[in-house]
Amino acid sequence: MTAERYVSTLELDARAEATPWARRHVRDVLSAWNVAGACIDTTELAVCELVSNAVQHVAPDAPHAHVTLTLRHDESQLIAEVADPSDRPPVADTTMSEDTESGRGLFIVGEISKEWDYYLLPTGGKVVWCTIALTG
């Protein structure tokens, strides 16, 4: 296992406005870390999907909840983690059609990342994460 070079964390209200704030945070932080532009774009898309998914599924149950975005950079990859207070596991929709208007988020994350998964926190809630390979 390689050592982490950088870590950044941002706590957001579980509201629709969290997604653009997360996008901006990814772009600013990864630029400061001198990550290549294509990796920034890929990570930004993955984070937007993870944050949107967390907000969509947490906000109705806990209107004052927060989600936490953590970015980790090591020598070979970026790891994006989104923690939320829900114990419900994320579910990727494998039955999408061309007309499907929602439920594509985890499918997209799976397509653009090396891997994704989740784990439950001992204090309650979960973390959904994905890894993005560094290029350039």
Residue 60 scores a pLDDT above 70? no
Q: What does the DSSP assignment read for 16-54? A: TTHHHHHHHHHHHHHHHTT--HHHHHHHHHHHHHHHHHH
What is the reported pTM? 0.88
Complete domains list, the chain, with CATH: 13-94+103-133 (3.30.565.10)
Helix (H) or strand (E) holding 71: strand 66-74
Residue 84's closest CA among 14, 1, 7? 14
pLDDT tens digit sequence for 81-130: 999 999 999 887 666 555 545 557 898 999 999 999 999 999 999 999 99
Q: What does the DSSP assignment read for 76-92? A: SEEEEEEEES--SPP--
